Amino acid sequence: MKGITILGSTGSIGLSTLDVLTRHQDKFRVVALTANSNVELLVKQCKQWQPEYAVMANTEHAEMLSKHLRKNAPDTTVLAGEEGLEKVSQLEEVDYVMAAIVGAAGLLPTLAAARAGKRVLLANKEALVMSGQLFIDAIRENNAELLPIDSEHNAIFQCLPHDVSAGLASSGVTQILLTASGGPFRTISLEELEHMTPDQACAHPNWSMGRKISVDSATMMNKGLEVIEACWLFNTSADQIQVVIHPQSVIHSLVQYADGSVLAQLGNPDMRTPIAHALAWPDRFDAGVEPLDLFKVAHLDFESPDYNRFPCLRLAKHAVSLGGTSTAILNAANEVAVESFLNNEIRFTDIARVVEHALENIDGHDPSTLDIILKDDADTRDISRQYIRRLAA
C-alpha cells in the first residue's frame, strides 16, 4: 500500500482526493491530514481515516483538534504550523504528497516533499509560480516525481510524449493550447465589472472551488498563473502557450504537433479525474466520475481572451517577461488583493490595479534562494496593503 499525506485535506481538492481514495482503500493508506482552521471537518476525517498525524496551521487550532481526537482518533499525533506541515511531507512512510494548500502557505511543505523524493501531486500553484527553478531542481536532484493536478496541466501531461526534458520542439510539439472557462463574468459588460460582489465572483458556472481560486477564475489570474506553471512543468516559454476560452470546460487543454495533429483531453469538469490519474499513473482506475456524454454536450465553443476584460492575464504574462522574482511579486500582490476583495475592502476591478502597482513599483531579484523569494513576497504584501489602504480611503 502507498502512504499518502494530504496537505489541505479540508479544501475542495482534499475532499475530492479522499473521495477517490474511498474507492481504492486496498491501494492507499492515509498517513497524514492537514488543515488551516477547519477543526470540525478535520476531526471527522481523522475519525474516518485514523491517520498517524494531523496538522493544523496554528497552535490554538491544534490544541482544539487534539482535545477532540482523544476519543475519536487517540492514536493520531497532532502537530502545528510550518514545522508540522514540513514533517508530514517528508515522513519515510509517505510515498505520495497531495499538495493542495492554497496560496504561498503551501510552498514550504511542497518543497519539502520534493526534497524528500516523494511523488508530488501538485495542486498548489505557488510552488512553481514563486520558486519555479528551485522547485524543479529539487524534483530532479532528489529523484522525486511531479504530477500536475490542475485539470489543464494534467490534460497537457496526458497529451504530451512522456519525456519532454529536452524541450517541446524536440518532441514535435509546436504549441500548447491552455483552455479557460472564462469564469462567471465572461459576458458581463465592462461597466458592470466594477460592481461585482464576492458572492457573484465565486459563483463559477462549471467548477466547485474555494473562494480564493474562484475569484482568480473570475479575473483570469488563475490562467495567468497556469501559464507560468506550464512553462516550468513542460520546459517551454510563454510564447508557446496560447490561452483559449472554452466556456463548456469539456476540453481541458490541447497540444498541437508539427504534423498538424492536435491532441485534446476531454472529460466532465470534475477534479476527481486528474486526481485519480495522478494517483494511479502510469495506470488508470475508477475516479467515480460520470462518463462524458458527447451527445449531451452537443457543441464546443472557443474564444480568444479579451485583455481589457481580463487585465490580470496580461499582467501575468508581463511578469514572465520581467523574469526574476516578478512572478512571486505578482502572486503575492494578487493574494493580498483577492483577500481584500473578499473582505469587501476593494472593488473587483481594483484587484488588477493592486497587482499592476506591485509590478511597477517593486524591483524583482534573482530567485536563487528561498530567502530572496520569501523576502520579495513579504515586501510585496506590505506595499500592496499600503496601496489598498489608499484605494479604500
Q: Is there a single domain that holds both residue 255 and residue 343?
A: no
Q: Is there a single domain that holds both residue 83 and residue 23?
A: yes
Beta strands in the chain (DSSP E): 2-7, 28-35, 53-56, 77-80, 96-99, 119-122, 145-148, 173-180, 241-245, 251-257, 262-266
Q: Is there a single domain that holds both residue 88 and residue 172?
A: no
- Residue 236, CA distances (Å) to 105, 122, 256, 312 in order: 26, 18, 14, 21
Task: Specify if 66 maps to a domain.
Answer: yes
pLDDT digits (tens, 9 = 90+) for 1-45: 999 999 999 999 999 999 999 999 999 999 999 999 999 999 999
Q: Is there a single domain that holds both residue 94 and residue 78?
A: yes
Task: Specify if 65 maps to a domain.
Answer: yes
Per-residue pLDDT band at 207 (split at 50, 70, 90): low
* Domain stops at, among 297, 315, 349: 297
Q: What is the tally of structural domains in the chain?
A: 3
Q: Is there a single domain that holds both residue 136 and residue 190?
A: no
* CA 367 – CA 56 distance, rounded (Å): 29
- Domain hosting residue 360, numbered range: 323-392
* Domain stops at, among 148, 166, 197: 148
pLDDT digits (tens, 9 = 90+) for 160-189: 987 777 778 888 999 999 999 998 899 999
Task: Specify if 10 maps to a domain.
Answer: yes
Per-residue pLDDT band at 302 (split at 50, 70, 90): very high
* Domain stops at, among 148, 181, 207: 148
Across the range 224-230, mean pLDDT stands at 95
